[in-house]
Chains A and B, each alone.
Chain A
């Protein structure tokens, strides 16, 4: 198969009739962590949502390949079963649906046999312990009345239980205090392996102290304007996104 776990090929995304991602190309190899950085409104979430198959974000041209196979014709659940995962920037509340039932359903969609389901509780509690999440969370309604930090931990809990091959983590670091950030980063690092890929969407350098990126991409106004090593993130931190603006002209000009 392909050496790349995810290939984003000149992807354009439209939402509400407006183009918000304007030709992004990005290849993520197995075992790699790519950070995607950019100001609010630059199109990071739109790109992530479109890759996962959100009906409001349509990919008008380009292609997305997961392990060499295009996902564009797949429904969101098929993309998930194929190995794609999105940790949402704003996870949805689903009142009345408990975290445990939700996770059980998600796992059952993957392996619908009784034997595997018998170990479910054990797996759930182990994942909860690793993320320092109270077991009581299993009986709470999905994201309903959760604090920002609790929501983000739950996203990573799902990541650790569903074991996708390619994880898009959309601002999983925002809204976390430093202790929570460490725990969540550890969860992400535990997930990392030679077979998996991560696209870490963030606008702070902070999380990159804990999760070491292979590459860093800077996105402005729907386009990637700069790609490089971890040093770019530090440069961003110091001088802000404005310093990348001239290069925008260079790239598009």
Chain B
């Protein structure tokens, strides 16, 4: 017995095994539930109009201010041109009239008892391992299927401490004043075309409020976003508020079936860290290769607050995502750590944005990208330091790994520094998997494919080691799928 106890102790010293073999994407994540589709409670037609927006708002029984907000946002969306930067070719192929803007999968709203979720929905999440993860280590779970959250839970001790973790629709009903106070204060609809679109047709997403001094850090709250239908548009809206001194770790995952025509995922995520609060937002995106993933994520960090975006981008056809932190008050900190994997037919246009407004603020951006075969990975970064943000520190590190002679990596770093008393570090590297490393590993009996995979997983290790163990293992398996090219 004492032997066993010793084993569990030493087990923590060794990192998880990255070489676990997985099934392919189609089987594990890319399956389609025809049964769920047959049972949809409500599926409108394709296309976007004020009528569609009105219907969404009416079905949800929203207050007038939200209804007005949606219509105003649609006007902004319609009046804004498509971005003239980035992958304009792929963006141009996106047909907004060929998208379903709202699918309500079940009649009832989100259940807090897993047994009450209809089987035809449960099957999908069972297969994705969500209930298992909830039991093992999560503080709360939210599961969104198409446009609506079908299940959510929060550990009792957290609820007792006043933590709120609801889907956004439910939060608007139960805490209308709190939602109204913060909603769209970080990202206005006019911010960009896709933020305007989300503002018009948003549905689902998470609302989290952590009261003063409450620490949810140890047991992350997780949301899982599942697209099932072809040509689906998923527009969740997430708002996280950590009050003074509060701590929270939120994790989101997302997957979809493999369809031949495109679907659209366009979320808006607003994060507010009050004085001395700590928020970590972790994403493991694992989209099928027909998904446009155009997401706006932005945080405000107040005095001595810390916001961390840990952003893993796998899959999708085009991802455009530049998590941002406004360092609004003295001593605020931002950490943005991202990984992007682009295979053939994929463009990962990812990066980071940090705005230093106040004194003694600090930011660190670490971007790792892997382009394989004909994949394109772009790093687009923006760091702005306002005059008066004295004593601030900026560190940017971009690392690109190319696999194959046609792989492409672009870097678009922008720095606008209007203050002299700041410390700036910037590093950018592009490398290939080295022959010498491959030989070293293969000379130990490891096959060339496994050796390459080890090197690639090693390359993103600074990212992986920030993830809870279960997600680290999952990410390594996803990388393996991408490396063997069985996706899409």
Contact = CB atoms under 8 A, between A and B. Distances in A.
B148 to A, nearest CB: 40
Interface in A83-99: 85-86, 88, 91-98
A101 B199 CA distance: 46
B185 interface: no
Interface stretch (A22-30, A33-41, A52-60, A226-234): A52-60
B13 interface: yes
Contacts, number: 108
Chain A contact-residue range equals 35 or more
A201 B75 CA distance: 77
A110 B446 CA distance: 9
Interface in B439-488: 439-448, 450-451, 454-455, 457-462
A83 to B, nearest CB: 10
Interface in B376-432: none
Contacts of B439: 52-55, 76, 92
Chain B contact-residue range equals 20 to 34
Contacts of A55: 435, 439
A108 interface: yes
A139 B454 contact: no
B273 to A, nearest CB: 30
B454 A135 contact: no
Contact of B444 (A54, A80, A98, A141): A80
A247 to B, nearest CB: 34
Interface centre among B11, B446, B447 (most CB of A within 10 A): B446
A75 B442 contact: yes
A8 interface: no
A97 B457 contact: yes
B443 A138 contact: no
Contacts of B444: 77, 80, 102, 105-106, 109, 158, 162
Interface string A197-233: 0000000000000000000000000000000000000
Contacts of B435: 55-56
Contacts of A93: 437
B7 interface: yes
Given A96-B462, A101-B17, A77 B457 contact: no
Given A75-B442, A97-B461, A104-B17, 17 more contacts: A53-B442, A54-B443, A56-B435, A77-B444, A92-B439, A92-B440, A95-B461, A96-B457, A97-B458, A100-B15, A102-B441, A102-B454, A105-B441, A105-B446, A135-B10, A139-B13, A142-B458
15 contacts: A53-B439, A53-B442, A55-B439, A88-B440, A92-B437, A93-B437, A94-B455, A96-B462, A100-B14, A105-B441, A108-B19, A109-B444, A109-B447, A121-B11, A141-B458
